[in-house]
C-alpha cells in the first residue's frame, strides 16, 4: 500500500489543492474550522496569502475562507 | 403562559411551543436565523419595513433587532426577531450562545419562538445547511428562505427545491429579496405552518438523538468529549453531502468565480494595499469635507436656538441652565452627527460589498503584532476624526477582548477636537519658527503629536493584551464573502439605526454631564463689582466650584508647568477638548468669541505672569499641555459611549484613570525633562 504524504494546509502552495485528513488539536478554533466545513475528505484549494505572508485565503465548498497560518497548521492534508 | 424550555426527544411529548399559543393570547414570535452574509437582514427589512427597533440583549452588547410582521390580515402582527449571523449553534461564541437562549426560550421577556425562518444562501448551500441541521433539532417548525437564487442561476447552479424540502422535511421557499419576489410565498409558507397548526418535525443526525435531547442543553459540551463532538460535525456534513448530491447533483463550485477575479487586484500583495489606502483616504476626506457644512449649520443652529431661548425666557438660573448647560452641552455633541452618519454610511457600504473582510485580510498581520484583530483597523482610523463613531464601529469585532482593547486605545488617536488646542499652542509659541531653515516647527509638532498618540496606543494595546485582556492570539477564521452590490435600503437603514442609537444613548449621559459641568462653573454666584461688568464672566469662573477646583489642584499640576487657570480650563474641557480655547478666553477675560488664531488670546497667554513676575506660559508649558491633551481622556461623550458599548461603568472609569495617569506622567516628563535639558 502506498503511504500517503501528510502535510499541513500551511505548507500547501498557493494555487494547489489538497484533501483534508483531519483537524488536530482541541478547543473552539479547530471546532470552528470543522463547523466551517473542513472535515476529513473535503478538498481545499489554497488561493493566496495576504501581503505580509499571513493570513491565507483558501477555497472550499464553493466559498472563500481566510485563516492565519497558525490555524492552517492544525489542518492535516494530503495533496 | 408557561413553556417547557427543556427539549423533548421526538415522540415523548406532543409538540409544545407554537400550538400552545392560541390566537390572541400573545403575538407570535418568529426568529430569523442564518449565516452571516446570507441575506438575513435584507429579508428582515423586506418583511418588517420600518416597523423595527434595535436594542441590546440584556447585559451584553449584541444587537437585538426586532420588528412587526403582518403575515396575515386576520391576525395580529407577529414579532420578528433577527438573530445575529451564525455559522453554528454550538455556543462557542457570544452570538451563538444568545441564539441558543432565544431558541430555547430562556431569555427573559422572550418566549420560545413559534417558528424559525432559516435563511439559506443558495450559492453557498453546503455550509449554510450546516446551521439548518442544527435548527431542525429545536422542536420548532422551520421554514427555509432560499436566497441569492438569481445569483446561483447565473452560475448555472440549479437546486431542486422539492427534493431539498423533502429531505430536510421542511418547506423551502425561493426568495429574491432584491426584486422583492418570493416574499408572498414565504408569507404563505409561514401561514400554512401557523394556521395549519403544523407541528415541528425534528430529527437528529448522527448521535445527537441518543443523548435524550443532549443537543439542546448547555450541558451538551461537557457531556461529550471532543471526539464525539467532532463525529457529530462529520455526521452533519455527511448528511449535507447526501442532500446536496440529491438536490443539486455534481456542480463545479470553482466555475465563474467572479469574486476571485476581483480579488486578483483588490487583495494583491502590492496593489491591494495601495487600493486600501486610497479607499480609506477617500472615505476620511469625504467625511471631513461633506460633514463640514452640516456641522457648521448645526453649530450655528444650536447657537441661534440658544439665543432665541434666551430672548424668550425670563433672565435667571433656569434660562442659563437651558441655554448654557443643556443646549450648548448637548448641541456641542450633536454637531458630530453628520460625521457619524457619513462614517456609518461608508462602513455599511464597505461591509455590504464584502470589501471590509478583505481589508481585515490585508491588515491582519500588522494588527496582530500588537495582539489586535485585522478588523480593528477601521475603528482606529475613524477615531482620527472622532473617537465616538470609531468606538461604535468596533461592533464588527466579534471577540470581546479584542473589541475592548480596540475601544480602550481608540481615544489616543488625535481626533479633530484636539486640533484647536494644538493650533492655539503652536500659534502662540512656535509660530514662524523653522527647523533646518525650511520645515515649520508647527508641522513637526503636529506630526509629533499624532505620532505620540499612535505610539502610546500601540504600547498600551500590547500591554493590555499581555495583562488584563490576555487571550490567545485572536483566532482569525473569517469568511471572505462574495462581492455584491450593496442593497441601498439595507445600507440606509443601517446608517439611520446607528445614528438613532448615538442620539438616544449618548444623549442621556451627555445631558447629565453637561448639566453637572455647567453647574460647577455657574455656582456659587459671584457679585460683580460695580464698574467691572466686562470681567463678570472671569470673576464668576474664578469663584465658581470649577474655579476653586482648579485652585485646589494647582499643587498637583504645577509640576507640569500649569497654573490654576490652566487647571480650570482642563476641567472645563472635559465637556469637549476644544472647550479649552473658549475657557482660556473667558479666564483671561478676552471675550467669549475668541478662537485659536485670535491675537488677543495669544497676547493674553503670552503676557500672563505669576505673582513673582515670572511667565506662566513658556514654550515648554505649551508643549507639556499639548502632550497632556494627546493622551488624556478629556471627553465626556467618549466616556458616555464607552459606558454604553461596554454596558458597564467599570471600563469608562478604567479608561479615564489610566489615560489620565499616562497623560500626567508624560506631561510631567516633558516639562521636567525639558527644564533639565535647559529649555524653558
- For residue B198, what are the CA distances in angstroms to B13, B17, B18, B112, B449? 15, 11, 9, 16, 66
Place of cell 507639556: B624
* pLDDT, tens digit (0-9, with 9 covering 90-100), for B192-217: 998 887 777 778 887 544 444 444 44
Note whether B477 contacts A31, CB cutoff 8 Å: no
* pLDDT, tens digit (0-9, with 9 covering 90-100), for B102-145: 999 888 888 999 999 999 999 899 999 999 999 999 889 999 99
Contact B64, B52 (CB under 8 A): no
Per-residue pLDDT at B404: 92
Contact B497, B347 (CB under 8 A): no
Helices (H) and strands (E) in chain A, counts: 2, 6
Residues of B in contact with A53 (CB under 8 A): 365
Given a cut of 90, whether residue A67 has pLDDT beyond it is yes
Contact B71, B187 (CB under 8 A): yes
Question: Quick one: pLDDT band at residue B63, thresholds 50, 70, 90?
Answer: confident
- Higher-pLDDT residue of B253 and B246 is B246
Question: In angstroms, how far is CA B264 from the centroid of its own chain?
Answer: 31
C-alpha cell at B355: 470589501
Per-residue pLDDT at B672: 95
Given a cut of 50, whether residue B481 has pLDDT beyond it is yes
Three-point CA angle B260, A11, B470, nearest 5° = 90
A45 touches chain B (CB under 8 A): yes
Phi-psi region of B119 (alpha: psi -120 to 50; beta: other; left: phi over 0): beta
Contact B106, B23 (CB under 8 A): no
Per-residue pLDDT at B221: 46
**Alpha helices per DSSP H over B92-156:** 94-103, 125-135, 149-154
C-alpha cell at B322: 437651558
| Domain span at B36 | 17-247
Count of the separate structural domains present in chain B? 1
Closest residue in B to A32 (Cα–Cα): B477
Give the burial class of B508: count Cβ atoms within 10 A of its Cβ; 0-12 exposed, 13-18 middle, 19 or more buried: exposed
- In angstroms, the CA B537 to CA B539 distance is 6
Note whether A68 contacts B478, CB cutoff 8 Å: no
C-alpha cell at B364: 491582519
DSSP letters of B473-532?
Answer: SPP-EEEEPPP-PPPHHHHHHHHHHHHHHHHHHHHHHHHHHHHHHHHHHH-S--PPPTT-
Note whether A55 contacts B364, CB cutoff 8 Å: yes
What is the mean predicted confidence (pLDDT) over B633-646? 88
Residues of A in contact with B368 (CB under 8 A): 54, 68
Which of these ranges, A48-52, A53-57, B185-189, B494-498, has the smallest mean pLDDT?
B494-498
Per-residue pLDDT at B531: 62
Per-residue pLDDT at A2: 63
Which of these ranges, B245-254, B561-570, B615-624, has the smallest mean pLDDT?
B245-254
* pLDDT, tens digit (0-9, with 9 covering 90-100), for B259-309: 888 998 999 888 998 998 888 778 767 766 787 788 788 888 888 998 898
Question: For chain B, what is the largest distance between any 2 Cα atoms, rounded to a whole number of angstroms?
Answer: 95
Give the CATH number of the domain where residue B191 resides: 3.40.50.300
Residues of B in contact with A37 (CB under 8 A): 126-127, 130, 237
Per-residue pLDDT at B9: 37
Give the burial class of B19: count Cβ atoms within 10 A of its Cβ; 0-12 exposed, 13-18 middle, 19 or more buried: middle
Per-residue pLDDT at B11: 36
- Whether residue B111 is contained in a domain is answered as yes
- SS3 at position B267: coil
Given a cut of 70, whether residue B658 has pLDDT beyond it is yes
Q: Which residues, in sequence order, are CB contacts of B196 under 8 Å at separation 6+? A: none
Note whether A50 contacts B92, CB cutoff 8 Å: no
φ/ψ of B107, rounded to 5, equals: -80, 130
- Whether residue B529 is contained in a domain is answered as no
Give the burial class of B405: count Cβ atoms within 10 A of its Cβ; 0-12 exposed, 13-18 middle, 19 or more buried: buried
Q: How far is A76 from chain B (nearest CA, A)?
A: 15
pTM: 0.77
- Whether residue B425 is contained in a domain is answered as no
Contact B217, B6 (CB under 8 A): yes
Per-residue pLDDT at B294: 87
- Whether residue B47 is contained in a domain is answered as yes
What is the mean predicted confidence (pLDDT) over B675-680? 84
Given a cut of 90, whether residue B656 has pLDDT beyond it is yes
Per-residue pLDDT at A18: 95
- SS3 at position A21: strand
Nearest Cα to Cα of residue B422 among B452, B442, B451, B438: B442
- In angstroms, the CA B396 to CA B500 distance is 18
Among B92, B123, B478, select the one facing A62 at the smallest CB separation: B123
Nearest Cα to Cα of residue B574 among B524, B525, B518: B518
Per-residue pLDDT at B595: 60
- Higher-pLDDT residue of B244 and B517 is B244
Note whether B479 contacts A64, CB cutoff 8 Å: yes
- In angstroms, the CA B195 to CA B114 distance is 12
* pLDDT, tens digit (0-9, with 9 covering 90-100), for B594-611: 566 666 778 888 888 887
- Whether residue B540 is contained in a domain is answered as no
C-alpha cell at B399: 471577540
Residues of B in contact with A26 (CB under 8 A): 226
What is the mean predicted confidence (pLDDT) over B34-60? 79
**Residue B410 CB neighbour total at 10 angstroms:** 30
Per-residue pLDDT at B225: 67
- Whether residue B415 is contained in a domain is answered as no
Contact A40, A20 (CB under 8 A): yes
Per-residue pLDDT at B61: 59
- Whether residue B255 is contained in a domain is answered as no
Q: How far is B410 from chain A (nearest CA, A)?
A: 24
* pLDDT, tens digit (0-9, with 9 covering 90-100), for B66-101: 899 988 888 888 999 999 888 999 866 777 888 899
Note whether B475 contacts A28, CB cutoff 8 Å: yes
A21 touches chain B (CB under 8 A): no
* pLDDT, tens digit (0-9, with 9 covering 90-100), for B379-419: 887 787 778 878 887 877 777 888 899 999 999 998 877 87
A35 touches chain B (CB under 8 A): yes
Domains of chain A and CATH, by start: 7-78 (2.30.30.90)
- In angstroms, the CA B31 to CA B9 distance is 22
Residues of A in contact with B479 (CB under 8 A): 36, 63-66
Contact A9, A46 (CB under 8 A): yes
Note whether B92 contacts A61, CB cutoff 8 Å: no
- Higher-pLDDT residue of B489 and B145 is B145
* pLDDT, tens digit (0-9, with 9 covering 90-100), for B445-468: 888 898 899 899 999 998 998 888
Note whether B477 contacts A53, CB cutoff 8 Å: no
Nearest Cα to Cα of residue A68 among A52, A78, A56: A56
Q: What is the ipTM of this complex?
A: 0.94
Amino acid at each position: 500500500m502506498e503511504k500517503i504524504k501528510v502535510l499541513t494546509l500551511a505548507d500547501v502552495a498557493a494555487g494547489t489543492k489538497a484533501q483534508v485528513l483531519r483537524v488536530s488539536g482541541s478547543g473552539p478554533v479547530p471546532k470552528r474550522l470543522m463547523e466551517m466545513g473542513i472535515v476529513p475528505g473535503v478538498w481545499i484549494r489554497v488561493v493566496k496569502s495576504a501581503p505580509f505572508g499571513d493570513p491565507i485565503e483558501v477555497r472550499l465548498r464553493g466559498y472563500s475562507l481566510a485563516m492565519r497560518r497558525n490555524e492552517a497548521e492544525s489542518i492535516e492534508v494530503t495533496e | 403562559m408557561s413553556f417547557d424550555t427543556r427539549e423533548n426527544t421526538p415522540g415523548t411529548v406532543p409538540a409544545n411551543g407554537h400550538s400552545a399559543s392560541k390566537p390572541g393570547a400573545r403575538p407570535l414570535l418568529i426568529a430569523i436565523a442564518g449565516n452571516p452574509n446570507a441575506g438575513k437582514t435584507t429579508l428582515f427589512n423586506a418583511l418588517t419595513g420600518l416597523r423595527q427597533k434595535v436594542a441590546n440583549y440584556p447585559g451584553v452588547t449584541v444587537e437585538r433587532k426586532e420588528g412587526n410582521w403582518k403575515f396575515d390580515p386576520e391576525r395580529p402582527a407577529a414579532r420578528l426577531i433577527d438573530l445575529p449571523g451564525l455559522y453554528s449553534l454550538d455556543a462557542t461564541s457570544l452570538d451563538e450562545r444568545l441564539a441558543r437562549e432565544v431558541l430555547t426560550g430562556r431569555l427573559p421577556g422572550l418566549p420560545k419562538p413559534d417558528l424559525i425562518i432559516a435563511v439559506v444562501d443558495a450559492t453557498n448551500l453546503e455550509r449554510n445547511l450546516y446551521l439548518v441541521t442544527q435548527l431542525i433539532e429545536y422542536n420548532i417548525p422551520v421554514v427555509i428562505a432560499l436566497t441569492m437564487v438569481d445569483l446561483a442561476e447565473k452560475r448555472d447552479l440549479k437546486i431542486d427545491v422539492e427534493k431539498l424540502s423533502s429531505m430536510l422535511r421542511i418547506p423551502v421557499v425561493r426568495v429574491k429579496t432584491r426584486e422583492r419576489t418570493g416574499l408572498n410565498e414565504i408569507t404563505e409558507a409561514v401561514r400554512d405552518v401557523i394556521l395549519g397548526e403544523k407541528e415541528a418535525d425534528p430529527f437528529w443526525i448522527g448521535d445527537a438523538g441518543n443523548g435524550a435531547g443532549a443537543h439542546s442543553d448547555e450541558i451538551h459540551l461537557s457531556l461529550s468529549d471532543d471526539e464525539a463532538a467532532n463525529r457529530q460535525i462529520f455526521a452533519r456534513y455527511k448528511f449535507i453531502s447526501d442532500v446536496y448530491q440529491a438536490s443539486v447533483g455534481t456542480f463545479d463550485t470553482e466555475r465563474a468565480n467572479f469574486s476571485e477575479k476581483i480579488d486578483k487586484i483588490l487583495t494583491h500583495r502590492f496593489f491591494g494595499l495601495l487600493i486600501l489606502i486610497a479607499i480609506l483616504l477617500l472615505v476620511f476626506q469625504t467625511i471631513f469635507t461633506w460633514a463640514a457644512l452640516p456641522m457648521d449649520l448645526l453649530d450655528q443652529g444650536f447657537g441661534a436656538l440658544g439665543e432665541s431661548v434666551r430672548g424668550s425666557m425670563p433672565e435667571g438660573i433656569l434660562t442659563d441652565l437651558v441655554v448654557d448647560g443643556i443646549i450648548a452641552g448637548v448641541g456641542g455633541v450633536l454637531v458630530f452627527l453628520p460625521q457619524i452618519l457619513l462614517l456609518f454610511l461608508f462602513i455599511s457600504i464597505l461591509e455590504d460589498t464584502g470589501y471590509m473582510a478583505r481589508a481585515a485580510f490585508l491588515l491582519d498581520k500588522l494588527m496582530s503584532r500588537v495582539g489586535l484583530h485585522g478588523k480593528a483597523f477601521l475603528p482606529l482610523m475613524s477615531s482620527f476624526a472622532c473617537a465616538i463613531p470609531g468606538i461604535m464601529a468596533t461592533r464588527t469585532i466579534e471577540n470581546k477582548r479584542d473589541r475592548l482593547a480596540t475601544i480602550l486605545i481608540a481615544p489616543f488617536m488625535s481626533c479633530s477636537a484636539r486640533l484647536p488646542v494644538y493650533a492655539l499652542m503652536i500659534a502662540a509659541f512656535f509660530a514662524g519658527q523653522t527647523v533646518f531653515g525650511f520645515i515649520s516647527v508647527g508641522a513637526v509638532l503636529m506630526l509629533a503629536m499624532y505620532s505620540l498618540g499612535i505610539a502610546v496606543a500601540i504600547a498600551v494595546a500590547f500591554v493590555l493584551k499581555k495583562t488584563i485582556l490576555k487571550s490567545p492570539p485572536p483566532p482569525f477564521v473569517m469568511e471572505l464573502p462574495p462581492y455584491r452590490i450593496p442593497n441601498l435600503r439595507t445600507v440606509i437603514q443601517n446608517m439611520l439605526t446607528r445614528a438613532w442609537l448615538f442620539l438616544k444613548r449618548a444623549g442621556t449621559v451627555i445631558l447629565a454631564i453637561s448639566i453637572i459641568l455647567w453647574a460647577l462653573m455657574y455656582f456659587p454666584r459671584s457679585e460683580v463689582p460695580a464698574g467691572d461688568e466686562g470681567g463678570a464672566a472671569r470673576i464668576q469662573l474664578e469663584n465658581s466650584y470649577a474655579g476653586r477646583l482648579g485652585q485646589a489642584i494647582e499643587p498637583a499640576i504645577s509640576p507640569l508647568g500649569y497654573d490654576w487657570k490652566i487647571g480650570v480650563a482642563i476641567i472645563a474641557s472635559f465637556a469637549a477638548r476644544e472647550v479649552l480655547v473658549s475657557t482660556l478666553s473667558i479666564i483671561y477675560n478676552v471675550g467669549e468669541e475668541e478662537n485659536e488664531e485670535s491675537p488677543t488670546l495669544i497676547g493674553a497667554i503670552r503676557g500672563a505672569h505669576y505673582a513673582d513676575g515670572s511667565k506662566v506660559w513658556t514654550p515648554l508649558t505649551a508643549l507639556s499641555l499639548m502632550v497632556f491633551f494627546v493622551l488624556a481622556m478629556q471627553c465626556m461623550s467618549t466616556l458616555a459611549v464607552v459606558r454604553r458599548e461596554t454596558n458597564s461603568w467599570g471600563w469608562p472609569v478604567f479608561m479615564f484613570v489610566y489615560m489620565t495617569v499616562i497623560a500626567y506622567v508624560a506631561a510631567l516628563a516633558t516639562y521636567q525633562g525639558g527644564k533639565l535639558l535647559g529649555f524653558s
